[in-house]
Structure 1
Amino acid sequence: MTEIIWGSTRKPITSQRLATKLAESFPEEGVVYVGYPVLASADGVNSIDALWVSPKHGVVIFHLVEGRDLGEYKIVQDDYANNLETKFRAHRPLMSGRTLLAVPTVITYCPMVLNTNTDSEHLVANDSNLVEVANSIEWARPDLYQAVHSVIQSISTIRRGRRRRNVANGHSRGAYLKLLEDSIANLDSLQSRAVIETVDGVQRIRGLAGSGKTIILALKAAYLHAQHPDWKIAVTFNTRSLKAQFHRLIETFVYEQTGEGPTWENVQVINAWGAPGGLTRTGVYYQFCEANSIPFMDFQTAKQNFQLSGAFEGAVESALNAVSNPKPIFDVILVDEAQDFSPNFLRLCYLSLKEDRRLVYAYDELQSLTESSLPPPETLFGVNSNGQPNVVFREPQAGQPSQDIILEKCYRNSRPVLATAHALGFGIYRQAAPGMKTGLIQMFDRAKLWEDVGYRVKAGALEDDAEVTLERTPASSPEFLEYPKEVDQLVEFIRFDKPSEQAEWLADQIEKNLKEDELSYDDIIVINPDPVTTVKQVGAPRAILFERGIQSHVAGVDSSSDIFFKPDEQSVAFTGIFRAKGNEAGMVYVMNAQDCFTSWGNLGRVRNQLFTAITRSKAWVKVLGVGPNMDRLKQEFDRVVAHNYELQFVYPNAEMRKHLRVVNRDLTPEEQKSIKGAKSSITNLVSDLSAGRVRVEDLDPDMLNQLRQILSGAGNVDG
């Protein structure tokens, strides 16, 4: 079916008529881009009215006329064709010597003009002859269909800008990684829609890690900047190491579309928090405080006022409470990793926007492995003076950009890698603790969320107390992602007796990756899940590598906070889990995974850390650990393999889901201290009562009654 992607257009009526006509008359595969791409010319930057790419008819540009006057349509057609040909000629796959293999045809579509005099060079059509004119166009090179899309979407430019991967051994890890990267040629239709379609208002983009959200937001920022160079656009995120990546992508895309670099004062890649110091240090929260003349809290001040865990959220909430009528700062704000922010930060972004409130926020529904970490937009952005929600997502309408886009495909993690990460993160095959009928650690209330992110019910039902088997399909996890299994198993759990053995083995493997496997330094990430102990824990393998002449660095410690890899310096990246988020590599080593098997007071958190670490891999992942808990974790993984990377479990009912949230909740240090103190007091009291040192009659009757009521109300949940 012909796919329609709605970009920004000044000719909405004719665009809708054209899209409807093409969709009805040409149901075969093809894509119609409205208001896209943006092309540079001697006279400036302009977007094409509409572009149809069809395997049968090739590349067809539409010049749209809304009135009865064709004007100088021949000049317009010539300009469109010349500008697009110039873009195409820069890409070798579309050329044979000096001959362009994808020559665009231009049609002026003018539904209000009754008499169209079509000549062979300048085609004109209205509703009566549009299909006839289009059918007269034939393309001799349908094999170039995907290559044309790659150029139009600027994906070929990204690939061309990356480091060239030179391989000598066709069966090495490097060769299979190159094959994998070459297979990801284009954006799929949902990704294209997410890039090009922008609403006057709030837009939400959801998808798993690896579904392309970061590239989509970078492309979107570049597209909007090319169309509206005077707009103030902010791109913000939680992981600082994404900053350099966003800069590179946006610069590449803007240059591809306009022939010039971006104006960084107008398209700002900035931190969420920020600080004084110009464009390199500013942030959304800092600019909000500055624009509204309210006190700015730095990290140390916020930590003193709101403790470490609530520092940023507290600072943002204080800023919101201090301003009744915030001043507009930006025309557009794009937020990546929105699941890592509190709802208050998104409200601050919303209130920092000018009249149309163009806010785009992208997040991973399952990044935290809990129920969707953000409330619905009707709740998130508050209500107006009439008590009505400020933001309501309407039902999808023909000819209108999509407000809510779900990216079903994962282009980073293969089916085995992703299913392993989810199985361990949720505790799907974990042995039940005493007194419990389930080993599950966490589960979200909205069961359909599994299907939203690309799982399919193979057996059973996604219902409370029902057994269900979930699987990923080739539609959501493309099979080519499993190419690397030809050289080595995609997921491997390896147990060691001592930390020194783990360090030695890890150093041996990295040396082999670099010297024999044809992997580059930035193909490797070593992750220690606990961010607090990372610098200390990675010291041993780094020392061994140093003795062997292999450089390494701890991301954000030995390098700028805005940089993750250091490919120009040939250095292997070691990292804690927070800086790993948003980054990926062909070979991922997760060390000290035994710490993620169990942990009192933060079991959900450590399992989330393991999940996030595993999903950094776009090919192979080696999960390393020491001692008995690593044995138990490996046994859990073995059950995943035995179930062929499918998730089979009984869906917990509402009462059990609530119980899981309580017993596996993330406790603060203060809460852990209080609970340990209470346990100690109860233990001493029971011991004294049993020994007769204290009698029940000695205790306060009111306190005893309260204790009986609390214990009775807690119930006895056992599954």
Structure 2
Amino acid sequence: MLEGAKALTRTQKRPISDPNASPIAAALAQLEAEIANFDENQRRVALVDVGGPARIRGLAGSGKTVILAMKAAQIHMDNPDQKVLVTFYTRSLRATLKTLITRFYRHYSETDPDWEKIHIRHGWGSSSGPGVYADTSRRYNRSPMPLTEAQKSAGPGKNAFGWAVNDLIESVEIEPFYDHVLIDEGQDFPDSFYRLCYHLTKGERDKKKIVWAYDELQNILNVQMRRPEQLFGKDPDGEFRVDLDRSGAALALGASNDTVLSKTYRNQRNVLVSAHAMGFGVYGHIVQMLEGAEHWKDVGYEVHNEPIEIGKVVELFRPTENSPLDLIPIDNVPVIASHSAINFDAEVNWVTTEIRKFIAGGLNREDVLVISLDDRNAKGYFRAISQNLAENDISSNNIIADPYNEPPFSIPGKVTLSTVYRAKGNEAALVLCVGVDAVSARDRGGRNKLFTAFTRTKGWLRVCGVGANAANISDELTTAAMTAPYMRFVMPDPLVIDTIQRGLSDKKIKAKALRDRYLKDLKEAGLTEEEISEQLKVDVI
């Protein structure tokens, strides 16, 4: 089973006839070879069934989506008659999930999965298309509410999707429909959607097999991290529907229903550290911060000067073991680069020149992703960029050309053009972020857009815009890249910024501390990673 888990993450070997003539492609080929395996902790999370609700937290690129795909495939192999729901927020993620589930399932079977039993569904759906909310509405002879109607009914400043789902829950008695529910991009869903999923899942309260994965740092919708008790609400008897302490009370040492993935396998170490620095604003205007030193350790950093105190310098370091990927250095091809253009046309020319350079260096066209950070002018950017590329015989795939369907995010032979919202959950070897001048660097929503866009790359990052704001963000990014893999800043007063909650109960914090201490003791005793993994399996049994 573990070998199958490894097989799922392997990509086809990239043919390189002459590494000297295609240095960029050669560097990417080596990188993709390094990505081929998950660590033991991630495979264990994917393949262990805790018998009830479970939460998976992890940074961008830590394998949350792949873990859910593994789970779906394994459940279907072991229990082919059970119904499994895999749901997600970003429409373009559907194709990725289907590919991953199919690849893993086919490792053990000569047939494809039975898609009548595994439902890969967008959270909302559409008036005519499938989706968790749309499907459920139709089962109860209700027409799914269109976005415009939901927005009007919800009122200004309210979550239209949340309102529509809540209206459905209050109007009909939802019957269980699925044996397992797996939720990806959980940070973006409203509370009412979690409650809908709870009602759709078979089983008693603490036995409902609902697994949700999220990264609180990717929450573009600017909603603070929410605990399970808030997400799922209470039953009529006043008890919380989901309480991870309660449902996990009988789990053995080594098993957990609340997992934090600290290692990342998508981003280069310095790209991830730079993205965090930009997302928090540590070299500009700090808008948000993690809850404390233990929270930084959760996401894979070392804290060099504890305790963290207001007004004191904080130094963080990301060790290689938590970001193990490295590109081969290439002369005159930095991993991170930014540019402040004098006008729109100059920006478009800079972007297309970079794309042509990387393609000449051996990248395939589908390895390239352009993300517009300027929502208002995204169509204008993509029109100009696609025209410029076409003049150089390079085709493009404009994701936002069809906003109501789920188009494939990547098409062979075409450069992908996307907004940050459509890019979530996807990745590319080269990511170019345009329109950075439109981002408000003084609020959490703007900072989160930067973080999400930057962490779409598994290789190189390019950032550009026009004017003073673009120049300021470029300066920040340059500082971040030069300081990485360290991050240094003066700790601000938590009362004047947003604090991202760690989201662990006191009991979970104590349990995690005991587990971390146990793992440290095993390492100090001289056990290898494989021996530690075997020991943990024994403890679970």
TM interval, shorter chain, is 0.7 to 0.9
Residue 159 of structure 1 and its aligned partner are, at CA, apart by 2.8
Residue in 2 that maps onto 1:268: 119
CA contact (8 A) 2:291 2:499 kept: no
Equivalent of 2:146 in 290, 298, 302 = 298
CA contact (8 A) 1:206 1:406 kept: yes
Residue in 1 that maps onto 2:355: 510
Residue in 1 that maps onto 2:164: 315
Tell me, in whole angstroms, the C-alpha distance in 1 between the residues paired with 2:18 and 2:233: 58
Residue in 2 that maps onto 1:596: 439
Equivalent of 1:578 in 401, 421, 435 = 421
3-state SS of paired residue (2:289):
coil
Tell me, in whole angstroms, the C-alpha distance in 1 between the residues paired with 2:146 and 2:471: 44
3-state SS of paired residue (2:210):
strand
Instruction: String of CA shifts for 1:282-319, please: whole Å, max 9, x gaps.
Output: 11112332344555312232122125862111101112
CA contact (8 A) 1:206 1:405 kept: yes
Tell me, in whole angstroms, the C-alpha distance in 1 between the residues paired with 2:99 and 2:56: 22
Aligned-pair Cα RMSD in Å: 2.7
Residue in 2 that maps onto 1:451: 297
CA contact (8 A) 2:396 2:415 kept: yes
Bigger mean CA offset, 187-196 vs 646-655: 646-655
Aligned amino acid, residue 366 of structure 2: D
Instruction: String of CA shifts for 1:546-590, please: whole Å, max 9, x gaps.
Output: 12221112114169842344433x111111111111111111111
Is 1:408 the equivalent of 2:259? no
Residue in 1 that maps onto 2:72: 221
CA contact (8 A) 1:371 1:443 kept: no
3-state SS of paired residue (1:354):
coil
Instruction: String of CA shifts for 1:473-495, please: whole Å, max 9, x gaps.
Output: 112111x3343566722111112
Residue in 1 that maps onto 2:505: none
Instruction: String of CA shifts for 1:631-682, please: whole Å, max 9, x gaps.
Output: 2222222332443442222333342236999xxxxxxxxxxxxxxxxxxxxx
Structure 1 residues 484 and 346, CA gap change in structure 2 (3 angstroms): farther
Structure 1 residues 463 and 292, CA gap change in structure 2 (3 angstroms): farther
Residue ranges of structure 1 left out of the alignment (5+ in a row): 1-36, 38-148, 431-438, 662-719
Tell which structure's C-alpha radius of gyration is larger: 1
CA contact (8 A) 1:410 1:476 kept: yes
CA contact (8 A) 1:215 1:249 kept: yes
CA contact (8 A) 2:289 2:498 kept: no
Residue in 1 that maps onto 2:469: 629
Tell me, in whole angstroms, the C-alpha distance in 2 between the residues paired with 1:290 and 1:199: 32
3-state SS of paired residue (1:246):
helix
Residue in 2 that maps onto 1:610: 450
3-state SS of paired residue (2:322):
coil
CA contact (8 A) 1:531 1:578 kept: no
CA contact (8 A) 1:154 1:256 kept: no
Residue 379 of structure 1 and its aligned partner are, at CA, apart by 3.2
CA contact (8 A) 2:222 2:445 kept: no
Is 1:247 the equivalent of 2:98? yes
Is 1:203 the equivalent of 2:203? no
Instruction: String of CA shifts for 1:603-629, please: whole Å, max 9, x gaps.
Output: 322222111111111111011122222
Equivalent of 2:19 in 169, 176, 185 = 169
Structure 1 residues 176 and 559, CA gap change in structure 2 (3 angstroms): farther
Aligned amino acid, residue 297 of structure 2: E
Report the identity percentage. 34
CA contact (8 A) 1:235 1:333 kept: yes
Residue in 1 that maps onto 2:333: 488
Aligned amino acid, residue 399 of structure 2: A
3-state SS of paired residue (1:391):
coil
After superposition, where does 1:55-66 map in structure 2 within 5 Å? none
CA contact (8 A) 1:367 1:612 kept: yes
3-state SS of paired residue (1:563):
coil
Structure 1 residues 564 and 449, CA gap change in structure 2 (3 angstroms): farther
Tell me, in whole angstroms, the C-alpha distance in 1 between the residues paired with 2:139 and 2:294: 42
Residue in 2 that maps onto 1:332: 180
TM-score, length-scaled by structure 1: 0.64
Tell me, in whole angstroms, the C-alpha distance in 2 between the residues paired with 1:296 and 1:413: 38
Residue ranges of structure 2 left out of the alignment (5+ in a row): 502-541
Tell me, in whole angstroms, the C-alpha distance in 2 between the residues paired with 1:326 and 1:231: 19
Structure 1 residues 375 and 605, CA gap change in structure 2 (3 angstroms): closer
CA contact (8 A) 1:299 1:311 kept: yes
Is 1:647 the equivalent of 2:496? no
Aligned amino acid, residue 156 of structure 1: A
Instruction: String of CA shifts for 1:682-715, please: whole Å, max 9, x gaps.
Output: xxxxxxxxxxxxxxxxxxxxxxxxxxxxxxxxxx
Structure 1 residues 292 and 357, CA gap change in structure 2 (3 angstroms): farther
CA contact (8 A) 1:198 1:402 kept: no
Tell me, in whole angstroms, the C-alpha distance in 1 between the residues paired with 2:499 and 2:396: 44
Residue 215 of structure 1 and its aligned partner are, at CA, apart by 1.1
Residue 255 of structure 1 and its aligned partner are, at CA, apart by 1.8
Is 1:534 the equivalent of 2:374? no
Tell me, in whole angstroms, the C-alpha distance in 1 between the residues paired with 2:295 and 2:306: 16
Tell me, in whole angstroms, the C-alpha distance in 2 between the residues paired with 1:363 and 1:195: 15
Q: Tell me the matched-pair count.
A: 493
3-state SS of paired residue (2:49):
coil
Tell me, in whole angstroms, the C-alpha distance in 2 between the residues paired with 1:175 and 1:641: 23
Structure 1 residues 468 and 395, CA gap change in structure 2 (3 angstroms): farther
Tell me, in whole angstroms, the C-alpha distance in 2 between the residues paired with 1:194 and 1:366: 21
3-state SS of paired residue (1:488):
coil
Aligned amino acid, residue 540 of structure 1: A
Residue 183 of structure 1 and its aligned partner are, at CA, apart by 1.0
Instruction: Point out which structure has higher relative CO (alpha carbons under 8 A, 6+ apart).
Output: 2
After superposition, where does 1:419-434 map in structure 2 within 5 Å? 419-430=273-284
Instruction: String of CA shifts for 1:414-438, please: whole Å, max 9, x gaps.
Output: 12111111111211011xxxxxxxx
Structure 1 residues 307 and 383, CA gap change in structure 2 (3 angstroms): closer
Residue in 1 that maps onto 2:320: 474
Residue in 2 that maps onto 1:546: 390
CA contact (8 A) 2:368 2:430 kept: yes
Tell me, in whole angstroms, the C-alpha distance in 1 between the residues paired with 2:221 and 2:278: 13
Instruction: String of CA shifts for 1:318-350, please: whole Å, max 9, x gaps.
Output: 122223x42111111111100011122111111
CA contact (8 A) 1:597 1:632 kept: no
Residue 442 of structure 1 and its aligned partner are, at CA, apart by 2.1
Aligned amino acid, residue 426 of structure 2: N
Residue 472 of structure 1 and its aligned partner are, at CA, apart by 0.7
Tell me, in whole angstroms, the C-alpha distance in 2 between the residues paired with 1:626 and 1:419: 25
Equivalent of 1:587 in 430, 451, 458 = 430
Residue 228 of structure 1 and its aligned partner are, at CA, apart by 0.7
Aligned amino acid, residue 166 of structure 1: I
Is 1:341 the equivalent of 2:189? yes
Structure 1 residues 559 and 385, CA gap change in structure 2 (3 angstroms): closer
Structure 1 residues 194 and 400, CA gap change in structure 2 (3 angstroms): same
